[in-house]
Every structure is written in structure tokens, then in C-alpha cells.
């Protein structure tokens, strides 16, 4: 029988940290948990991935064979540069001291990282990762919504989650989506997620949707908030003519987080 590989202390600690985080974690999360640099985390992840003990994705890792977080980290590894630009543009719309809802979307995870520069936020979320990124930082107050945990989304959903979300008054709700349709607006694969973001949108003064361009014109079975409830789309490329007209008809503004000229040259 093959023997299990012998782990260094740092490798064992990182494996334990991944288990503690629900089976997956971003480099920044792991660095904070282990109190080491992100470069140390990256080197350790590389060694563990080479040994076949974890899966490696852009910006993070997950336990191989573990269902917790696998779906989320597959998605967070898609279009990371675009999501980073979107996140920075969305964070610019949020001021210090605001009350903000953030959902479990992979693009929203990037927004949470960008919001670490803000001060005194009240953050309400159903996302484990968002809570870990923003709690105990710059005077933030973080409220994690209760409900049934869905490991593959790293978040909570269901009637309890929706009831608790409905008790807050948000300055801004930052929402992701699985698709953006010119007919229906934002769409979701997961019915509980669609219901939760509807509640969050209803309780928000302003609703920002963060969405990378591959989701333009896609479809999914569950409707999110009514398009008229949305205020701003932050994305990385201009939508096509049909979608642009629909956004204008709904009164939704768009911010395009384009590449800087020096990035395009690279």
C-alpha cells in the first residue's frame, strides 16, 4: 500500500486551516488565519497541490474530494482579472460607515477584499468568506445571517436567512447573479439565492449588481429582484445593443471597469 506523504508543520497547518474554513480558502484568508505572508501560503499550496492533497485555483485552494467550497472556488477561478477590476469599481461606490449587504457570489468575494480599505462598515452577509475577510478590520461590524448552510456555496440560505436579512436597512446591496437577460433581468440557478437577494434589494436604498461579461445574455431558471429595483451594473465590458437598451428602459446605469492602458499593452 502507498504510504501517506509526510507533511511539514506549515503544510499540516494549512490543511487544518482549509478544514476550518469549510474546505476551501483564498490566499488572503489563509494568510490571516496562519499569520504568515501570502507568498508563504502560495508556496505551501503549490507543494500540497503537487502532492495531490489539495486543488489549486487562482487566488486560493480547496481540499480535493471535499464538496465544501468546490463549486465556489471553481467559479472564483473564472475571469479573476475581470472580477478584480469590477470589485474595485464597485467598492468606489461605497462610502465609509455604510450598511452593506454582500451575497455569496464569487465576484462579491472580490468586492469584499476591495472593501478592506473602507472604515466603519456595517456588513450583513450570508457568506462565510465575506465575513472572514471583513470582520475585525477597520472598525467594521459584521453580521452573518443564520439559516441552512450550503457548503458548495460557502453560505447560508432559506427562510431564516431571508427573515434576518429583512430586519436590516441597507445603504447598498451588492449582488452577483448567474445570468443577465434583456427580458428578465438578473437570473439565478439557485431558488433560495434568488429569494434572498430579492429580500436584500427590497431593504436597500441602492442596489449594485456586479457581473462579468460572460454572463450577458445567459439564462437561468429563477428570477432575482425586479429590474426596476436595480440601480447600477458594474461590469468589465459594455453590454450589447439589446441589453444596453433594456438597462436604459429599466433605469439601470452601468459602470464599465475596463483595463488600464498599461495592462492592455502587457
pLDDT of 125? 98
In order of their start, the domains of the chain are: 9-69 (1.10.10.10), 80-265 (3.40.50.1360)
Q: How confident is the model at residue 158 (pLDDT cuts 50, 70, 90)?
A: very high
Residue of 152, 230, 142, 227 lying closest to 184 (CA atoms):
227
Predicted confidence (pLDDT) per residue in 36-59, tens digit: 999 999 999 999 988 888 878 777
178 against 264, higher pLDDT:
178
Helix (H) or strand (E) holding 22: none
Q: Are strands 253-256 and 232-235 parallel, antiparallel or unpaired?
A: parallel
CA 107 to chain centre: 4
- The rounded distance, in Å, linking the Cα atoms of 76 and 234 is 17
Amino acid at each position: 500500500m502507498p504510504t501517506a506523504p509526510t507533511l511539514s508543520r506549515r503544510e499540516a497547518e494549512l490543511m487544518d486551516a482549509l478544514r476550518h474554513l469549510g474546505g476551501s480558502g483564498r490566499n488572503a484568508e489563509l494568510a490571516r488565519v496562519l499569520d504568515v505572508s501570502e507568498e508563504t501560503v502560495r508556496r505551501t499550496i503549490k507543494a500540497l497541490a503537487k502532492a495531490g492533497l489539495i486543488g489549486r485555483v487562482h487566488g486560493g485552494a480547496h481540499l480535493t474530494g471535499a464538496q465544501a467550497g468546490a463549486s465556489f472556488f471553481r467559479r472564483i477561478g473564472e475571469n479573476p482579472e475581470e472580477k478584480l477590476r469590477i470589485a474595485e469599481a464597485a467598492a468606489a461606490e461605497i462610502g465609509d460607515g455604510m450598511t452593506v449587504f454582500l451575497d455569496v457570489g464569487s465576484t462579491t468575494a472580490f468586492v469584499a477584499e476591495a472593501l478592506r480599505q473602507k472604515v466603519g462598515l456595517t456588513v450583513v452577509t450570508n457568506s462565510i468568506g465575506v465575513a472572514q475577510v471583513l470582520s475585525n478590520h477597520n472598525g467594521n461590524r459584521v453580521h452573518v445571517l443564520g439559516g441552512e448552510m450550503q457548503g458548495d456555496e460557502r453560505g447560508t440560505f432559506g427562510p431564516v436567512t431571508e427573515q434576518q436579512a429583512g430586519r436590516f436597512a441597507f445603504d447598498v446591496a451588492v449582488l452577483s447573479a448567474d445570468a443577465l437577460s434583456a427580458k428578465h433581468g438578473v437570473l439565478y440557478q439557485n431558488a433560495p439565492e434568488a429569494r434572498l437577494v430579492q429580500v436584500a434589494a427590497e431593504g436597500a436604498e441602492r442596489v449594485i449588481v456586479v457581473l462579468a461579461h460572460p454572463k450577458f445574455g445567459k439564462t437561468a431558471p429563477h428570477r432575482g429582484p425586479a429590474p426596476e429595483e436595480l440601480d447600477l451594473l458594474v461590469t468589465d465590458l459594455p453590454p450589447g445593443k439589446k441589453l444596453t437598451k433594456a438597462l436604459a428602459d429599466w433605469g439601470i446605469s452601468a459602470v464599465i471597469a475596463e483595463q488600464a492602458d498599461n495592462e492592455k499593452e502587457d
